[in-house]
Structure 1
Amino acid sequence: MTGASHDVRRRAGWLPAEQAHLEAWLRGRRERLADRDPDQVLHPAVAALRDVIESDPVLRMEAHEMIAQVPSTGDYADRHLESVEELLELIDEVVRSAPEWGEEQMVMTPLDGVLDWTKSTPAGFAFYRDPRVNDAIREVLQAWCTFLSSPESADVIVDAPGGWRSDAARRAVGMDQFEHDPDDARWGFTSWNDFFTRRFRDGERPVAAPDDDAVVASPCEATPYRIAGGVRRRDEFWVKAEPYSLDEVLAGDESVDAFVGGTVWQAFLSALEYHRWHSPVSGTVRRAWVQPGTYFSEADAQGEAAVLPQRSQGYLAHVATRAIVLIEADDPTIGLVAVVFVGMSDVSSCVIGDGVEAGARVSKGDELGYFQFGGSSVCVLFGEGVVESFGLGAIPQAPDEEPSPLRVRSHLATVRRADD
């Protein structure tokens, strides 16, 4: 696939690094449909998505067209889909299973893999922005999340090919860093989501300069993507230059004024990394909420089929479902900080932690919540003139460099000190 080395989904391990491996995985999925019981009915949530498509002539047209059309970027060796019926059956198979381990053909976000072709067509751009489609997909994702939180979903945590207890998977995950029971058949995890939201062992991720309020900590274990300064209240976030538009990122919240002219730092989370969130500063929570948004929508910048997700990272911070936490820092030179946790691809449930609400006190490094299964991104917003410098590990890497995540609770930025 042209530009695959720039594709955030591939750099983060959500999809295979090579397009050929995704194609092989999809062929296997499609071949399995031949053995599907013809009398098997669709999961109720998938059937509801079918009914939404069939209830409106425009949606029905877009659904058929996004399969008939060929993505205008990317070297697709095979046609991924032949019909809407096949698409629905593939979705149905996904919501009844948990992701398996694989060194080459691993697809950590299988629903994203199934929809990959459709998302990057002109009809797909319109289809996935339709509120009715998003409502129906939300139900599909919630149904899948229910399965991934069930004991049955833990069956992939086994010491076998495709299992997460295999030696290769253990090394890739760095399991020794995480809390688990090595003697238990499922490492002590009760479900796939329990495994996905695993915690580090005590001492694995110390808080950067815990007694220095001028040092801001990374809220996630994430690879730096972009730093933008002088951000505006409103901007054309959908264009190729990918500016941030504060009104949309913060969903029209009254806090927008505090960030006009300020700085946005954004990073993306790897499929195999830690998916819990932590406070970047010590202070008081002003507000915390989950903002509903789109699922699987991508940017078609300036009329181009900008299907490579590096052109959609900033876009998704404005339109995707996301958790927004506003914290008034103890250090008055910092003031208000916004942390935006963006759900991307597959389940991507944004779960704000118990007690993280208006008036709650948090210390730098305290847990704020977590992503349940799915691809994800994070933004930290600062006011104008607040940031003095970013830590070396927080600087985005060149697209051709091997991505390296900034460790959670490590040095993200240094802000102006009160006596400067």
Structure 2
Amino acid sequence: MMQTVRYIPTYTQQGPNPPATGSSLHGHGHWMPENVQLRRAWLSSLLDKTKPEIPHKIRKEVNPVETFRKLIEENSTLYMLAHSMFEEIPEKAPYDRDPTTLKKQVRNYRTMLYLFNTLLTEVPEYFLNDSPDVPSGLIGFPFNVVVDWPMGTPSGRQFFLDYRVNECLKAILNKWNDFLKDPTAGGQGESGGNKTLIKAGWNSNRALQQLEDKANESTPNEPKRKFADLFEYPSGGTPENFFNYPHWDAFFTRKFRSGVRPVAKAAVVNACESFPLSFDTEVSGRTTFWLKGTPYSLHDMLGATKDSSVGTYVDKFVGGVVYQAFLSADSYHCWNAPVTGVVKYRSLIDGTYFAETAASGFGGSSGPDPAGPDLSQRYITHIAARGVLIIDTDVEGGANIGNVGFVVVGMSEVSTCEWFSNTEVGKTITQGDVIGAFHSGGSTHCLLFQRDAVRKLQFNPKAQYPEVASANLAVNSELATLI
């Protein structure tokens, strides 16, 4: 079989070059605002409520942003890179101003840190704007908006690959995740977390409509369902109180109601509510994944550089297939078992958070791409924080297609990949079981199949040829059948 590499176009109907004030820059994922003006308006509002200070403690504990500041300022190399990654941003539109003040926004690392400190006590917003020139929309990756331009510079790529930087970022994002799981967030009593969600615009008609539209687009032949008919929520929930979710994480990891996503009768079902990105055959054990084109490198993807015991599984998948798909920030974010089988290997791997491929940064042939996180999805499967699960399907009730690999990738501030307890090594999981979840943002995932298994499988054409897909594939829907 010939190797097949397919990408989804970054700019719908706008060509390859990013427009200075264009409206559709992130057409697949909704992680970053699709409209540059929306991103600037939100960032301007964040700057308005940000103070030029970094407290030593936050909620009576050491402030990880202050720890990050010390790391930068006490290390000459990182201090130089922190300065340079902002200085390397071009002095021209759309990087030099926002639509309200016509001044530069985030042009130094100190402002970046001040904004990070503010975000530690903010939930991701559904930003509502009454201006006819600036739409409302989801701010799925608030931290990523702050660093979107510097992370694409040569110095930024070096800075955000440094393990010490990523250790600090992990501490910052873990602290943020604590806030997102806190029912007293915002200091407003027992319902504080819920009030914070409402303050962030999630009970608005626009937000609810977007969530409903995203879920319903996966099942175009079924009647349209309202939010309350699609998802589980706590007792007493209404649209007005945003279904009584106690905090952001409870809303974000919400489950579908029973019967909404039935498990298809298939050898492999879709593990995530997700949009197809690529389908590659004849994948390599190890290759130069950091070059333009970003081929898959199984050795790096599965974390063999950190755990040699996974090497035997690398060998099993060489010459096989990698299918990758991404989750929108407004979608279901739990993971379901794609196959029935016994768990043979499970891991969680620390990695990078804001590293992107050079091809999508300021060194790219088309100039910097504001959708860099989208274009970097294949690249980050090798270096980002991620989880790996290997399932043996040669068991009673299984599809008998050997080992199937499931790699979940924490993209940007998605700092938590969680395997549930039913995925412990030696346990049998049943196709369709809920086995884990992302926390705090949208992300991407891969399914790996052995060479011999591919000869037994007929894949869903929308997975095998991502360019024909026009909407998410429903979780638990048919991904592949036995020939």
Q: State TM-score, norm by structure 1.
A: 0.90
Show the counterpart of 2:383: 319
Tell me: CA distance 1:407–1:74, structure 2 relative to 1, closer, same or farther (3 Å): farther
Q: State TM-score, norm by structure 2.
A: 0.78
TM-aligned CA deviation for residue 345 of structure 1: 1.6
User: Secondary structure of 2:435's partner?
Assistant: strand
TM-aligned CA deviation for residue 61 of structure 1: 0.5
Aligned-partner residue type, residue 322 of structure 1: R
**Residue in structure 1 matching 2:146, options 111, 114, 117:** 114
Matches within 5 A, 1:179-198: 179-181=232-234, 183-184=236-237, 185-198=241-254
CA distance in 2, matches of 1:395, 1:115: 34
Tell me: CA distance 1:312–1:14, structure 2 relative to 1, closer, same or farther (3 Å): same
Tell me: CA distance 1:258–1:96, structure 2 relative to 1, closer, same or farther (3 Å): same
User: Secondary structure of 2:444's partner?
Assistant: strand
CA distance in 2, matches of 1:334, 1:72: 55
Kept in 1, the 8 Å contact 2:24–2:35? The answer is no
CA distance in 1, matches of 2:276, 2:248: 27
2:460 aligned with 1:391, yes or no? yes
2:82 aligned with 1:63, yes or no? yes
Kept in 2, the 8 Å contact 1:111–1:346? The answer is yes
CA distance in 2, matches of 1:392, 1:169: 32
Long gaps (5+) in structure 2: 1-10, 12-16, 98-103, 128-134, 186-192, 213-226, 305-309
User: Secondary structure of 1:201's partner?
Assistant: coil
2:415 aligned with 1:348, yes or no? yes
CA distance in 1, matches of 2:91, 2:355: 16
CA distance in 2, matches of 1:6, 1:402: 22
TM-aligned CA deviation for residue 80 of structure 1: 3.4
Show the counterpart of 1:270: 328
2:429 aligned with 1:362, yes or no? yes
User: Secondary structure of 2:78's partner?
Assistant: helix
Aligned-partner residue type, residue 79 of structure 2: R
CA distance in 2, matches of 1:391, 1:72: 47
Kept in 2, the 8 Å contact 1:299–1:306? The answer is no
CA distance in 2, matches of 1:363, 1:73: 54
CA RMSD of aligned residues (A): 2.6
Long gaps (5+) in structure 1: none
**Residue in structure 1 matching 2:342, options 277, 284, 305:** 284
TM-aligned CA deviation for residue 361 of structure 1: 0.5
TM-aligned CA deviation for residue 86 of structure 1: 1.1
CA distance in 1, matches of 2:465, 2:105: 33
Show the counterpart of 1:89: 114
Tell me: CA distance 1:7–1:129, structure 2 relative to 1, closer, same or farther (3 Å): farther
**Residue in structure 1 matching 2:194, options 126, 129, 154:** 154
Matches within 5 A, 1:8-407: 10-33=27-50, 36=51, 43=58, 44-70=63-89, 75-76=94-95, 78=97, 79-102=104-127, 104-151=136-183, 152=185, 153-158=193-198, 162-174=200-212, 175-176=227-228, 177-181=230-234, 183-184=236-237, 185-209=241-265, 212=266, 215-252=267-304, 253-254=310-311, 255-301=313-359, 304=364, 307=369, 308-329=372-393, 330=395, 331=398, 333-387=400-454, 388-398=457-467, 403-407=470-474
Tell me: CA distance 1:343–1:74, structure 2 relative to 1, closer, same or farther (3 Å): farther
CA distance in 2, matches of 1:72, 1:334: 55
Tell me: CA distance 1:243–1:6, structure 2 relative to 1, closer, same or farther (3 Å): farther
Tell me: CA distance 1:98–1:383, structure 2 relative to 1, closer, same or farther (3 Å): same
Kept in 1, the 8 Å contact 2:343–2:424? The answer is yes
Deviations, residues 381-401 of structure 1 (Å, cap 9, x unaligned): 000142333213424544xx8
Please say which of residues 314-323 and 187-196 is displaced more in the overlay.
187-196
Aligned-partner residue type, residue 165 of structure 1: N
User: Secondary structure of 2:32's partner?
Assistant: coil
Deviations, residues 310-350 of structure 1 (Å, cap 9, x unaligned): 43111100000101110001347410000000000213310
CA distance in 2, matches of 1:335, 1:407: 24
Tell me: CA distance 1:402–1:282, structure 2 relative to 1, closer, same or farther (3 Å): closer
Deviations, residues 32-77 of structure 1 (Å, cap 9, x unaligned): 33xx386955741100111111121010000011111116999435
CA distance in 1, matches of 2:332, 2:195: 21
TM-aligned CA deviation for residue 287 of structure 1: 1.2
User: Secondary structure of 1:265's partner?
Assistant: strand
Kept in 1, the 8 Å contact 2:25–2:35? The answer is no
CA distance in 1, matches of 2:260, 2:389: 25
Tell me: CA distance 1:309–1:217, structure 2 relative to 1, closer, same or farther (3 Å): same
Kept in 1, the 8 Å contact 2:55–2:66? The answer is no
Tell me: CA distance 1:290–1:40, structure 2 relative to 1, closer, same or farther (3 Å): closer
CA distance in 2, matches of 1:25, 1:115: 14
TM-aligned CA deviation for residue 147 of structure 1: 0.4
User: Secondary structure of 2:443's partner?
Assistant: strand
CA distance in 1, matches of 2:368, 2:321: 25
User: Secondary structure of 2:112's partner?
Assistant: helix
